[in-house]
Structure 1
Amino acid sequence: MRVLVKNSVFILFWSFLVACQSSDSYKDTLADGELLIAAQLQLTDVIIHDIFSPPVASRIYAYSSIAAFEVAALGDASYQSLTGQLRGFEPKAYDIPEEVDYSLAALAAYYQVATALIFSEDMMDNHRDGVFAALRKQGMPKKLFENSIALGQQVAGHVLAYSKTDNYHESRSFEKYSVSNDPHSWQPTPPHYMEGIEPHWNKIRTMVMERADQFISEPATPFSTEPGTPFFEEAMEVFTVTQDMTQEQKDIAYFWDCNPYKVNIKGHVMFAEKKITPGGHWMGIASIASKTAGQDWKGMAETLAYTSIALFDAFIACWDEKYRSVLIRPETYINKYIDEDWLPLLQTPPFPEYTSGHSVASNAAAEALTKLFGEPFHFVDSTEVAYGLPIREFDSFRHAADEAAISRLYGGIHYMPAIVHGSTKGKKLGEYIKNQVETRSGLAENAEVVGK
């Protein structure tokens, strides 16, 4: 995959430069957060490789990012630990060596938690080993290196223990979704007709929300097949919009596709086209924003943690509604009642329609990032470049979230109410998290604009 090559080249090129640097150049290398960005990019590569669903991917990002941030909070009193703020995350006393590099400890914690939550452990291990070896070659003293790794492992152990109590492992044995014959109910869609993904995700412990249905959406439009009724007209809107789209609308749809289950068929051969998840896209935006703002590694850790927590609860809230309403997708409805030959621009994901996952997650993440960086905040979103798509530029995170939401109409995979009410749910959740979770002393509601 293109992104795997890019990240590998980064490590090899950086290792080549090590020999030309001074004996204490590791300090500069660790200070600016670039290595944490590299670790986050590698984790995204692995999540794509292992084909984790959007909800599961959000879980992996969250615990990994929390581990790195907890180290930052240990090393800098201006940052506030998430213990006591996240549901079930209890404080812990750590044995902190006198000589320790907190930035390396944060990196070690991130790698350890991430590796424990994926399948392809060797991909993260090899990446970590390359980074750590380069740091040693840059002159990092052995004792300092070992102490820092040990502290990172302590924090990672605490976060992993926390992760094991969120009901995820128990949910792996829950019953699969049973497809209903009710006309309004979701049906698996072509070309691979996958079963419904994560029907019990609302049983996962939330991090900030009090319960999965805390921000419950108003019911979807009553189902009807009669022309002129509201539901029929919503389906006609999808059908009509996709008949004569501008190139800009198509570009928007493709940019925010983020479907890790896309399958291509050539003749009798079916093969997967691996893509980033919606959460992965927003974690990429978080890294870009942090770098744009010139944050150090602690600021980077805060940004990743805050964004991932919003995404974690967003997928729980969204999936709670998806499997309550189990609403039919436009592709199924339009093929049956309007045009049997119609195809959406994007491939329909394998779960119910209402509400739009990208609308919920994008708006929740946008609110989290707006708290950290303020508005306006101009950034260049290059997240999808690795997957063959061009950059897009935005003047705020909310602007990006709005575009991500409407992309689902252009893609032909959502009716407008799922987009509108999904966006509302995400904004309400994001606002709630902003009021409940503090990561830094004196963090203003409208952060200083540094990304103009």
Structure 2
Amino acid sequence: MRLRSSTAFAAHAVLARNNPVLAPSLVDNKLFDEVRNSGVSAAVRDASEALGVSIGVRVTTAGATDRGLEVSYYRPGYPDSLARDNVYVFTPEQIGAPRDFLLYPQYANGSTFIYPVKKIPGLAKPYLSAPYKYGTPEFEAENAAVVKLGGTYAPERTQYQTDTARFWLGAVSGSGGQGSAGVTGMVQNISIDLLPKSYTPLDQAKFFAKLGTAFYDAIVAVWYVKFKAPRWRPITAIQKYYNASWTPLLGTPQHPEYPSAHQGIFGGGWSVLVRELGGNPSHNFTVKSDWPNIPDRSYTSLDDAAAEAGNSRIYAGAHWEQANADGFLIGKAVGNYIYDNIDSYIYGRQDPVSWKS
């Protein structure tokens, strides 16, 4: 408990010093009380803070100067001028400064931590031509589900499904709950609930190293596909061909639709957690809600939670089903590789993926 408290103190100190929006005060009262009541000495507390801040600054600096994080050369068009079938453009609510910018295109050329960048083109290849095109029976079937269940006005969507769209995003700071990054915290909390109570701090550290790496490396692989095959969002296709007044339940993210980053993250984390639990996805657990009007949810299987998380993106009006399924498979492949190789991997800088490869 003392180790956990001092580590939490260090992490909070990093945020407070370097991102006051996320941690507006150096130490909030609750955390300070936990540290004080744990019996940790002032010397350990102060040393943890100093070490945490030092590491945080180094990691932030390394990320900012990493030559692998190069912005992909892609500039989307606007719906009324450059829109083409199946190709991503800014959606109506994203037009006009300061909103008409892409989120995270640098990850399309990013360096991974463990998953070899040289493997990403091979992993991505089956998915580059995978999205169903407008007019095909497969597209029409998937699109009908989004039209029926993912719009602002959707009388056939149940209240549970409406809540599901928000529940699996989490209330991400500054995003109004409309950022897929929230799922990382949810998978972390599920892991804390399910990991054996006998785990030592070292066991926990090893597991969460795998989990965090899976999240990040899966995102790099997902974004590689996103900007190699930049697919339009449901709002663009639906307003153009089906219903000009249709709008999604939740805001559309500012990057290509395919594959789903949300499910890429979930797939990476899911694979690591299931492997850690001996390959058995059947466990009882509860996921805490970040929404005051949406209750916590309990499950008997990680598979059920993953499926519901994927459906949440349809209810939100942000994705078609194929993006969810394929994003999950990409994340799962990356997570499994990390689980098998992280302990023996020789850490070091990797070459970035070439945009022209």
Q: 1:165: Cα distance to partner?
A: 4.7
1:146 CA drift (Å): 4.7
Superposed, which structure 2 residues align to 1:353-368 within 5 Å? 353-368=257-272
The aligned counterpart of 2:164 is 252
Deviations 1:333-369, CA, capped at 9 Å, x for gaps: 1111011122323322221111111111111111112
**After the TM superposition, which residues 132-147 of structure 1 pair with which residues of structure 2 at under 5 Å, given as runs?**
135=35, 140-147=40-47
Structure 2 residue 341 is matched with structure 1 residue 432: no
Of residues 150, 167, 177, the one that matches 2:75 is: 177
For residues 363 and 133 of structure 1, what CA distance do their matches in structure 2 show? 36
Taking the aligned partners of 1:339 and 1:354, their CA distance within structure 2 comes to 22
Indicate which of 122, 131, 137 corresponds to 1:221: 131
Provide the C-alpha distance between the structure 2 equivalents of 1:338 and 1:350, rounded to a whole number of angstroms: 22
8 Å contact kept, 2:226–2:257: yes
Q: For the structure 1 residues 189 and 130, does the alpha-carbon distance in structure 2 shift closer, same or farther, using more than 3 Å as the test?
A: same
Partner of 1:166: 66
Matched to 1:428, the amino acid is A
Return the TM-score normalized by structure 2: 0.75
Q: 1:253 to 1:152 in 2, by over 3 A?
A: closer
Moved more, 287-296 or 416-425: 287-296
Asked whether the equivalents of residues 283 and 300 of structure 2 are also in contact (C-alpha less than 8 Å), the reply is: yes
Find the aligned partners of 2:148 and 2:54 in 1 and give their Cα distance.
56
Q: Look up the match of 1:69.
A: none
Q: Distance in 2 between matches of 1:158 and 1:320?
A: 26
Counterpart contact for 1:167–1:203, Cα < 8 Å:
no
Give the match for residue 232 of structure 2.
Answer: 328
Q: 1:214 to 1:398 in 2, by over 3 A?
A: farther
Query: Any idea what SS the aligned residue of 1:385 has?
Result: coil
Identity over aligned pairs, percent: 23
1:98-137 alignment runs, 5 A limit: 104=6, 106-107=7-8, 109-111=10-12, 113-114=14-15, 118=19, 120=21, 123=24, 125-127=26-28, 131=31, 135=35
Secondary structure at 1:393 match in 2: strand
The match for 1:378 is 284
Cα distance change, pair 108–314 in 1 and its aligned pair in 2 (3 A)? same
Task: From the superposition, tell whether residues 355 and 199 of structure 1 become closer, same or farther in structure 2 (CA, over 3 Å).
Answer: same
Determine if contact 1:359/1:404 at 8 Å carries over to the other structure.
Answer: yes
Which residue type is aligned with residue 2 of structure 2? L
Instruction: Look up the SS of the partner of 1:208 in the other structure.
Output: coil
Is the contact made by 1:290 and 1:299 (CA closer than 8 Å) also made in structure 2?
A: no
Residues 1:238 and 2:163 are matched in the alignment: no
With over 3 angstroms needed to count, the CA separation of the structure-2 counterparts of 1:213 and 1:158, relative to structure 1, is: same
Tell me if the contact between 2:190 and 2:287 (Cα under 8 Å) persists in the aligned partners.
Answer: yes
User: Which deviates more, 337-346 or 143-152?
Assistant: 143-152
Q: Aligned-residue CA RMSD in angstroms?
A: 3.5
2:273 maps to what in 1? Answer: 369
Count of equivalent residues: 324
Q: Tell me which residue corresponds to 1:72.
A: none
Larger radius of gyration: 1
Give TM-score, length-normalised by structure 1: 0.61
Q: 1:378 to 1:392 in 2, by over 3 A?
A: same
Deviation string 1:227-283 (CA, Å, 9 cap, x unpaired) is: x6443443234224445233333332231245859xxxxxxxxxx762274333332
Match of 1:284 in 2: 186
For residue 427 of structure 1, report the CA deviation from its aligned partner. Answer: 1.4
State the AA in 2 paired with 1:187.
V
User: Is contact 2:249-2:315 (8 Å) kept?
Assistant: yes
Determine if contact 1:222/1:231 at 8 Å carries over to the other structure. yes
CA distance in 2, matches of 1:273, 1:113: 21
Q: In 2, are the aligned partners of 1:286 and 1:303 still within 8 Å (CA)?
A: no
1:15 match: none
2:242 to 331, 338, 351: 338
Secondary structure at 2:310's aligned position in 1? helix
Question: Measured at CA, do residues 144 and 176 of structure 1 come closer, stay the same or move farther in structure 2, by a change above 3 Å?
Answer: same
After TM superposition, the structure 1 stretch with the greater mean CA deviation from structure 2, 198-207 or 132-141, is: 132-141
Hey, what's the Cα distance between the residues in 2 that align with 1:137 and 1:247?
Answer: 43
Give the unaligned 5+ runs of structure 1.
1-28, 36-103, 262-271, 440-452
Would the aligned equivalents of 1:380 and 1:391 in 2 still touch at CA under 8 Å? yes
Deviations 1:378-424 (CA, angstroms, capped at 9, x unpaired)? 21000x33554211112233332222112222322211221221121
